[in-house]
A and B are shown apart, each in its own frame.
Chain A
Amino acid sequence: MNHSEDVGQFGSGLPLRAASNGGTHMYTDTDMTADSDSDDLDEMAQLRDDALINALAKGVLPAEYAADPLASALWSWREDLANGPVELNPHAVLSSVATLNAPLAVEAELAKIDNGTNHAAERKVLASKRRSGGLARPSKSSSIPSWFRLPFKLTQLHLGRRLVLSMAAATLGVVSLGSVAAASSAQPGDVLWPLTKVVNAERAQSLEAREEAFDRLHEARSAAKQNKLQTARESLRIALSDAEKVRDKDGREQLRQQLGVMQAQLGGPASQTDPATLPTSTPPPPAPTPTPPPPTSTPPPPPTSTPPPPAPTPTPPPKPPPPPSPSPSSSPPDSSSKTDAKSHRDSAPPSSSGPTEASTS
């Protein structure tokens, strides 16, 4: 039978190793009857075995017992019991000598096929172990008894690599999760702000708009302080449009309130003091009042009143007529009283400067 043959192989190879290593104390009692008195009295040997067993009980194979097949077998057995899978005996692997070659080639190929993920080093270790232990024949692997199945065997090499990989993966996960979490609360200008733009574009847009709006508000304030009302108003307008892009929860109402205050401040004084703004906002009020009177009140007066007061009141009369004479409204009276308006013409030039004074006052 295959099996007995294998065992025989092992048995024949073993004494050599045992004799070369630690033969001094491990085989003191060569008598087959283990109950002999000399055995019981050898306290040193007892203590050594006790120490060995204590070490093995903790899953440790002392280095000095590396070549002791019993110690290493007990160690392997305990590992097998504790973990299911067995780890290779590191000492035995180191002390192993290659003796068998022919069957190995086949097995190495088998192992390669079966186990693409295995590393060359690991295979080598297995191979040398195979040589030293020398129990299994390649033909046996096809009829492996059930108890050979080791569902999750890990060699030490594998274990270390997996550990490193899993730790790296865990670290990566924590870092990326953490930065995403941090990015979700980042503010414009933060290191993680670019990440926020990617992770939460909506929020990023809203916050940027808010920043922009506040910047514009500040611009508007400083411009207003320097009395540059035009630029202040322009800034405020941009700020208002930015504020519309801010989300409710990012403080849009608050922003609007501040902008509203600014708007009120700018709106009030600007309409009265800034001449540049007159054409846009204030022309309606003054224009209707002066222009309607001219057609109604001034045309009548010229024909009726101009003849009598020309000479006596050259200076006072210009006042009432001038107001009606902005450029468009002055032509009708002129055309109606061209002949007698010669004297008025003289007074008209001064009166033309008059209306500007009136409008400004």
Chain B
Amino acid sequence: MYQESNELDMSMLVALAAKGDRAATDELIRQIRPMVVRYCRAKLGRSGSGSYTTAEDVTQEVCFAVTRALSRYQDKGKPFSAFVFKIASHKLADAGRSAARSRTQPYEQVPDRAASADSGPEARVLESAEVQRIRKLMAALPETHREVVVLRTLVGLSAEETGQALGMKAGAVRVTQHRAMNKLRQLYPATAEVTA
């Protein structure tokens, strides 16, 4: 699968980047950035203005932190992605703390601008509703299950990489993801009761 071959290239890049190769560092960040973006977006959701600005900011911080931490990274058989997502989860925790202190509620300004966006409000409502629903269901999962689903499905890590990032075995990741999926399926018809 492409994830493995990707990881192979990535380990070479990491080795070069750790020695201070500028181009390798750039390429490495370019490769991990989309995954970090999805991870941060999945965890943070949309910010008050309806865009992913907070998630983008955190992504930026994560990439920056990864670049700085490269020299500290030593290949001990752990995939680099595990290293990246450990950093990312720390950064997200920081962002969560600062967001908890923030009192901004910019909701009210939005609808006018939203109405002039590319597609009609109907489409936005529908699509976001679907995403919002799955988010809500995910919140009902245990922490580990949620993390596995996010890393596997949304970020696109392999079972092995996810296991390394979360300190589990790959087999355990597969079992956990199956349980999480089953749980989500059960929750689906029952959403009404859950939210009501």
Please, which residue of chain A has its CB at the minimum distance from the CB of B108? A146
- Picked from A4, A77, A146, the residue with its CB within 8 Å of the CB of B192 is A4
Q: B159 at interface (Cβ–Cβ under 8 A)?
A: yes
Interface string of B127-164 (1 = CB under 8 A from A): 11111111100000000000001001111110100000
Binds B, one of A6-14, A214-222, A303-311, A315-323: A6-14
Q: A211 at interface (Cβ–Cβ under 8 A)?
A: no
Which of the listed residues B106, B152, B189 has the most CB atoms from chain A within 10 Å of its own CB?
A: B189
A144 contacts B118, C-beta separation under 8 Å? no
- Picked from B120, B134, B193, the residue with its CB within 8 Å of the CB of A111 is B120
Please, which residue of chain B has its CB at the minimum distance from the CB of A154? B118
**A interface SS class:** helix
Which of the listed residues B107, B121, B152 has the most CB atoms from chain A within 10 Å of its own CB?
A: B121
A149 contacts B120, C-beta separation under 8 Å? no
Binds A, one of B8-16, B73-81, B89-97, B171-179: B171-179
Contact residues in A for B50 (Cβ distance below 8 Å): 145-151
- Known contacts A26-B185, A70-B181: A153-B51 contact under CB 8 Å: no
**A146→B128 CA distance, assembly (Å):** 10
A77 contacts B135, C-beta separation under 8 Å? yes
B192 contacts A46, C-beta separation under 8 Å? no
Which of the listed residues B2, B124, B130 has the most CB atoms from chain A within 10 Å of its own CB?
A: B130
Q: A15 at interface (Cβ–Cβ under 8 A)?
A: yes
- Known contacts A86-B128, A133-B129: A114-B178 contact under CB 8 Å: no
For chain A, residues 74 to 109, give those with C-beta under 8 angstroms from any C-beta of chain B. Answer: 74, 76-78, 80-82, 84-86, 88-89, 107
B121 contacts A145, C-beta separation under 8 Å? no
- Known contacts A84-B52, A153-B123: A49-B181 contact under CB 8 Å: yes
Shortest CB-to-CB span from A50 to chain B, Å, is: 5
- Picked from A39, A56, A150, the residue with its CB within 8 Å of the CB of B127 is A150
Q: A164 at interface (Cβ–Cβ under 8 A)?
A: no
What is the number of residues of chain A that contact chain B, defined by CB distance less than 8 Å? 78
Shortest CB-to-CB span from B169 to chain A, Å, is: 14
Contact residues in A for B181 (Cβ distance below 8 Å): 49, 52-53, 70
Contact residues in A for B179 (Cβ distance below 8 Å): 34-35, 39-40
**A42→B49 CA distance, assembly (Å):** 44
**A7→B195 CA distance, assembly (Å):** 8
Q: Pick the 3 closest A-B CB pairs, nearest first.
A: A149-B50, A147-B46, A111-B120
**Which B residues form the contact surface with A (CB < 8 A)?**
1-3, 34, 37-38, 41-42, 45-52, 106-107, 110-111, 113-135, 149, 152-157, 159, 174-175, 177-186, 188-193, 195-196
**Which A residues form the contact surface with B (CB < 8 A)?**
3-4, 6-8, 10-12, 14-15, 18, 26-27, 29-30, 32, 34-35, 39-40, 42, 45-46, 49-50, 52-54, 56-58, 68-70, 72-74, 76-78, 80-82, 84-86, 88-89, 107, 110-111, 114-115, 118, 123, 126-127, 129-130, 133, 135-136, 140-155
